[in-house]
Amino acid sequence: MLGIRRILVGGAVALGLAGAAGALNPVVDDLKIEASDPVTGDEFGWDVSILGSLAVIGAPLDNINGANSGSAYLFAKGASGLWFETQKITPGNAASTANFGASVAMGDGFCVVGAPVQPTGGMFRAGSAYVFTFDGVDWAETAELIPPTLATKDRLGYSAAVSGDVAVIGAPGDGFFDFTLGKAFVYRRLATGHWTLEASLLASDAAANDHFGASVAIDGDRLIVGADRNDDNGDSSGSAYVFERSAQTGQWTQKAKLTALGAASGDQFGFAVAIEGDLVAVSAFRDDYSGLNNAGTVRLFRRNGGGAWPEIATLDAGSGAVAADVFGSSVAIANGVVFAGAPTEASPLVSPGRVYVFEETAGAGGWTRSTTLDPIDGQAGDFFGNAVASDGQRAICGARWDDNIKENAGSATVFAFVEDCLGDLNGDGQRDTADLGLMLSVFGSQNIDADLNGDGVVDTADVGAMIAAFGVSCP
């Protein structure tokens, strides 16, 4: 299983190592990622995305350009291992109530940010999505992705995801008595840096108010779109659709429609989706699992040799599940590890929220909860886990109602998932005098690699841990 370390130093999140041998529990401290200009009600952490040493965090209720115009923040991990805010971004045509930052997706040198209530072209709640590109110094707006069929109440940018040079943007419509058909739009970045619309996706059985596009995820030439108000198994029972791109024709085609076993009215299956290779995760965050109202589940599907997508597992909060957990409010998959957020986790009156981590049991065909990700100084009602993303090395969790600085200003926390050898500071596979020398050279500092117990400083406790493992080869 993965080792997990969360170390927070100097007002930002630093990421340390937890090896397969002697792995430590997550380290608790009292600092986290927050906006440099927190304001009551901004809800920083509404959506989050991470890729390598870059992260983007949305704050769609920021009033910087009018009420709820929204913003997003870029963070980078420096050479010291500390995360720091690099830039706050807003679009050039920012408008009141646009909710810019409601969806965010980090790419390689660019990010996509949705503004689902942007009055594009003067159309009420038409929405929009923007691309910001890093030029080596700053993040600059380089494209606004507007499909030619955009219409009133489409709410383009409600969801967004990126894989390589491809972005998929959800436009589920308002979903209440407006008879809009949800859509998802696929854009591709060309070698010139320009973005072109590659596909406009509709469900094969599209129906008004299904909310198709409420969630999207993409991995290479395969993507999934959630429709959490589809009524196949009762009002808002929900569904999700898998699409694949043909390498020969470049066309995107629907390959499967997914619904949950035992689906029922109000489950909202498809509220959040994730995909990696042949594995798909779809949340039903209002599933009354085991008779517990709105306890929530996440269903896993895996493509078989015949191209079908059978349901293979149901994930839930386990023995601690209670009504109103809304487990599955967010989902992510990275390196075969599944993350599921439960932002009320029993009740917002008593819990700050939690993210559950699951790994497949080797040879057993089952899934086991390997750990949980918990907030640092969590308080009741923080809504920690309302958003989660992972790139396989790190996970980032949003807590948009965190009141640490100001009411509902929000926060995010970064966790590291590393399988390196604890104490092998020079990476040579041994824990020896070279490593001890490196540790002594930074003694008394906040060096994240040498701080083996994660208490924020390299001290005698860390030297003791090094000596205890001294001479033992890494597995």
Tokens linked to 202:
């509709």
The per-residue pLDDT for range 36-54, each reduced to its tens digit, is 999 999 999 999 999 999 9
Closest CA to 221 of 194, 192, 248: 248
Q: How many CB atoms lie within 10 A of CB 401?
A: 25
DSSP character for 382? -
Q: What is the mean pLDDT of residues 52-71?
A: 97
Q: What is the average pLDDT value for the chain, to the nearest integer? A: 88
Closest CA to 287 of 334, 239, 324: 324
In whole angstroms, what is the distance from residue 297 CA to residue 283 CA?
Answer: 6
Q: What is the mean pLDDT of residues 244-258?
A: 97
Cβ neighbors of 389 (< 8 A, separation 6 or more) are 48, 49, 50, 106, 332, 395, 396
Superfamily of domain 32-420: Integrin alpha, N-terminal (2.130.10.130)
Cβ neighbors of 387 (< 8 A, separation 6 or more) are 45, 46, 47, 48, 330, 341, 397, 398, 400
Tokens linked to 457:
């400083």
Would you state the pLDDT for residue 346? 60
Q: What is the mean pLDDT of residues 426-443?
A: 86
Would you state the pLDDT for residue 19? 31
Q: What is the mean pLDDT of residues 392-413?
A: 93
In whole angstroms, what is the distance from residue 402 CA to residue 38 CA?
Answer: 11
Would you state the pLDDT for residue 162? 98
Asked if residues 83 and 14 have their Cβ atoms less than 8 Å apart, the reply is: yes
Q: What is the mean pLDDT of residues 335-343?
A: 95
Would you state the pLDDT for residue 378? 87
Q: What is the mean pLDDT of residues 275-304?
A: 96
Q: Is the pLDDT of residue 253 over 70?
A: yes
Q: How many CB atoms lie within 10 A of CB 22?
A: 16
Domain ranges of the chain: 32-420
Would you state the pLDDT for residue 178? 63
Confidence of residue 457 (pLDDT cuts 50, 70, 90): confident
Q: How many CB atoms lie within 10 A of CB 3?
A: 23
Q: Is the pLDDT of residue 3 over 70?
A: no
The per-residue pLDDT for range 144-201, each reduced to its tens digit, is 999 999 999 999 999 999 999 999 999 999 655 566 789 999 999 999 999 999 999 9
Tokens linked to 330:
């967010």
Q: How many CB atoms lie within 10 A of CB 275?
A: 24
Closest CA to 410 of 418, 400, 420: 400
More confident residue, 267 or 458: 267
Amino acid identity of residue 469, one-letter, is: A
Confidence of residue 31 (pLDDT cuts 50, 70, 90): very low
pTM for this model (two decimals): 0.85
The per-residue pLDDT for range 77-106, each reduced to its tens digit, is 877 667 899 999 999 999 999 999 999 999
Tokens linked to 93:
């045509």
Q: Residue 462 is inside which H or E element, if any?
A: helix 460-469
Would you state the pLDDT for residue 402? 95
Would you state the pLDDT for residue 144? 98
More confident residue, 474 or 286: 286
Confidence of residue 454 (pLDDT cuts 50, 70, 90): low
Q: Residue 433 is inside which H or E element, if any?
A: helix 433-441
Confidence of residue 417 (pLDDT cuts 50, 70, 90): low
